[in-house]
Each structure stands twice: as C-alpha cells, then as structure tokens.
Amino acid sequence: MGASYCRFCTRRRKVGDPNKISMRELESAFRYLEEHTEVRDVILSGGDPLLLSDRRIDEICRRLRAIGHIEIIRIGSRVPCHLPERITPALCAILKQYHPLYINTHFNHPDELTPAAVDALGRLADVGIPLGCQTVLLKGVNDDTEVMKRLMQRLLAARVRPYYIYMCDQVAGAEHFRTTVEKGLEIIRALRGWTSGLAVPHFVIDAPGGGGKIPLLPEYVESITDDAVVLRNYAGQRYVYRQPQPDTAPQAPTEFEPVLAG
C-alpha cells in the first residue's frame, strides 16, 4: 500500500506499511515517556494506527501499559469508517486488555455510517471502549445544519459521542473544502437546544503553528456586570442571571420574563 495522508488536517505522516517503523525504533519514544512522569495520556494517531498488524498493536499497547504513570491510551482512527472489516473480534480482544483505552474515530457525513461501520463500532463498544467522533466541517459535504444534525444523532445511536467539529485546516489541495467560521457557528447554533446535548460537539479551530484547539461558541452572553449576566438561549429568548452579592440576605428567586430576540 502506498502512502496516504489526511486531506483535511496538517498531519502528513505515512500510513500503510506496518514495517516502516520497528519496535526498536519506537524504543526512543517509550524511553521518553518513561522519563517524563508528567505524561499521563498518550494518543496513537496518524497515519492510522489500526492499519498496523494485531501483533504490533498489542506490542505497542503492552509497552505503554508497562509505564506506570500513563493512565490513558487513546487511538485516533478512520478505520471504523473506511475499513470496518478491520475491526475484528481478535483486534477487539487485544484492545480490551489495555483499559482505560479510548478511540476517537472520524465520520463526516451520515451516509458514512453504513451497516458495516455501525457493526464495527458496536464491536468496539461491546468490549468497553468509549468512542468519540472528530468531524471536519467540509463545504458541500456537511456544511448544512440538517446534514450535521443527522450525523450527530446517528453517531449517538451507534454509541459514538460527538467530540469535535473542526474547521478545515489550511492545507494544500483542500481549499475547495473550506467554508467560513460563521457557517460552523450557525451549525452549532442549530444543534444546541434543538437536539440532545449529547449530540452537540465542541466546535474548534486547530490553531496554525501548534496553537492547539481553540473552542468557538455562538454569542449567548449579551453583557456581564457585577450585578447580573444577560443571556440569550438557543431560541433567542433573553434572560437575566443575578450575580452573587456578598454579605446580603437571601433573596427570593427572580421572575424571568424572556423577550424574543428581534
């Protein structure tokens, strides 16, 4: 198999040949982790670690579990979407040994949740692996409120918790997939309050240059003073939340009169 890359992010690591990196070459990474006791959470990511052989996945997870201060192992993989037959009972039995282990997968459209993909996700969930999904906002694919809502609801039905919606990264060859930040905020506004809170992921920009994930939210706060916070809910209604006041007697709850936004 030739090299392949994620089209929608800045990672450009080869995937496909599990023999490109030997366990001996990985020893430097394991040694680093052993020496840095502040590291408690390790992510195996892309390329795609689930394209490795069962034996190699077992070796890597076993080696990580031998490092006492590593509490959590996470795997990022698109395999449940693109190659669901790779999620075999044998692979699930291997992963089950290394809890707490989490998998974040990657679905961009509800049509990707085929029966085979849902079955693969079920096999992972059945061995106790918490599943999340990282979706990329793509022009002409899922930049539509109803499409995104359907995706998030179908993920939940497949026992996958929507985790992130990413803005498409600024990467060569993907400019035609990029849409505006305002479109992402519109989609989050159409999800929050209009479907289960479990179906509302974080909307983030993975900041260029290693700045990390920066969350974005629609404007729900109109003003903040020492006395009160003025808020608008998902339906555009206005509410006042009173700030705590020091050294005052308890007061009766405030009667709210929501005002529809203009």
State the average pLDDT over residues 26-52.
94
Q: Is the residue at 6 inside a domain?
A: no
**DSSP label at residue 48:** -
Q: Is the pLDDT of residue 251 over 50?
A: yes
pLDDT digit string, tens, across residues 61-112: 999 999 999 999 999 999 999 999 999 999 999 999 999 999 999 999 999 9
Please report which confidence band the pLDDT of residue 250 belongs to, taking 50, 70 and 90 as the band edges.
low
CA dist., res. 240 & res. 232, Å (int): 9
pLDDT value for 170? 81
pLDDT digits (tens, 9 = 90+) for 221-244: 999 999 999 999 988 899 999 999
Does some domain include residue 228? Answer: yes
Is residue 224 included in any domain, yes or no?
Answer: yes
DSSP E strands, 187-237: 202-207, 212-216, 221-224, 228-232
- Chain segment 120-141, per-residue pLDDT in tens: 999 999 999 999 999 999 999 9
Question: 85 and 52 in one domain?
Answer: yes
- Are residues 252 and 144 both part of a single domain? no
pLDDT in tens, 172-217: 888 899 999 999 999 999 999 899 999 999 999 998 888 889 999 9
Return phi, psi of residue 90, to 5°.
-65, -45
Q: What is the largest CA-CA distance in the chain?
A: 72
Angle value at C-alpha 148, between 145 and 151, nearest 5 degrees: 150
The Cα–Cα gap between 258 and 120 comes to 46
The reply to whether 143 and 29 lie within a common domain is: yes
pTM to 2 decimal places: 0.84
Q: Give the confidence band of 249 by pLDDT, cuts at 50, 70, 90.
A: low
Minimal CA–CA distance to 120: which of 103, 100, 99, 141?
Answer: 103
Report residue 21's pLDDT band, with 50, 70 and 90 as the boundaries: confident
Domain contains 12: no
- Give a yes or no: residue 242 inside a domain: yes
Looking at the fold, whether 125 and 142 belong to one and the same domain comes out as yes
Same domain? 130 vs 225:
no
Residues 180 and 127 in one domain: yes
